[in-house]
Structure 1
Amino acid sequence: MRSPRLASLLMTFVGILAVSGCTSAPSDLPELAPVTGTVTLDSKPLANASVSFESSNGQVAFGQTDAEGHYELNFRDGAKGAEVGENKVRIETVLEGPPAPNYRDPIPAKYNSKSTLTRNVSKDNPVQDFELTSK
């Protein structure tokens, strides 16, 4: 016959294991490194821009610039950073609704839809700044 105290201790232990399993990082995440930085356009902070890094494996990390042009990348499942290695970078204006007819993003296509930007993500270099020009 089990004692009620032993049963209570076992239930507490099982509960702790269940909760700790829910808060741990998923094991299927690739190797990530933190990425933060500042984006400027024509030497001025670029606010409200979407910044995305896409790895060669197709994994995407994203962030959004604040009023000073600062961003921090987020991965999936609450993880921070981007996949380690070479990443294609896209920076584009965040719109609050569908674009108006004849809308033209003030950020040139060479930084977004036809991006030529790449960055090597590593734990040794977490700061990735971008100095964009409108021409």
Structure 2
Amino acid sequence: MHQAKSSLAWLSVALLVVLVGGGCTPSPYGDLGLVTGTVTYEGQPYPNAMVLFTPTAGGRPSRGITDESGKYELIYIRTTRGALPGDHTVMITTVPPPSEERKIFKETLPPRYNTRTELQHTVELGENVIDFDLEKK
């Protein structure tokens, strides 16, 4: 009986060590990194832009829309904020204004930021502030 109690005590201590000091601290955002930032174009805040982060290793992309001051926050799915950790290809496109007439919308931003994007970024677990200073050239 004494040996069973001793084994149970050691098992309890081992379990406590694994749970408390397992070597990593969980992110407050789960398995995602919270991503916020600002998009500027030619030095000015760029409102109404969609910022799309697509993981290069595959997986669900995250997206956000800039507000009037060019600030965005990525959404992973529905109301879940964040993006998968790792390397991402980033596309930034202008969101066309709503219109009753069917017009062809011309993208304001150069293709190197969207259709032929050159933008890459790494998302870490936890909080990430990722700003984009875009230029016409």
1 or 2, which has the higher strand percentage? Answer: 2
Match in the other structure for 1:114: 116
* 1:1-135 pair list within 5 angstroms: 31-56=31-56, 57-95=58-96, 96=98, 100-101=103-104, 103-123=105-125, 126-135=128-137
Contact 1:48–1:94, Cα closer than 8 Å, also in 2: yes
CA distance in 2, matches of 1:99, 1:127: 37
**CA shift in 2, pair 1:55/1:43, >3 Å:** same
Which AA in structure 2 matches 1:91? I
Which SS does the other structure have where 2:128 is aligned? coil
CA distance in 1, matches of 2:89, 2:78: 21
Contact 1:52–1:91, Cα closer than 8 Å, also in 2: yes
Contact 1:106–1:134, Cα closer than 8 Å, also in 2: no
Cα deviation for residue 34 of structure 1 reads 0.2
Give TM-score scaled by structure 1 length.
0.71
**CA shift in 2, pair 1:77/1:105, >3 Å:** closer
**CA shift in 2, pair 1:133/1:77, >3 Å:** same
Q: Say which is worse superposed, 72-81 or 91-100, in terms of deviation.
A: 91-100
Calculate percent identity across the aligned residue pairs.
Answer: 35
Which consecutive unaligned segments of at least 5 residues does structure 1 have? 1-29
Over alpha carbons, which structure has the higher Rg?
A: 2
- Aligned CA-pair RMSD: 1.9
Which SS does the other structure have where 1:75 is aligned? strand
CA distance in 2, matches of 1:78, 1:67: 21
Cα deviation for residue 100 of structure 1 reads 2.9
Contact 2:34–2:126, Cα closer than 8 Å, also in 1: no
Contact 2:47–2:69, Cα closer than 8 Å, also in 1: yes
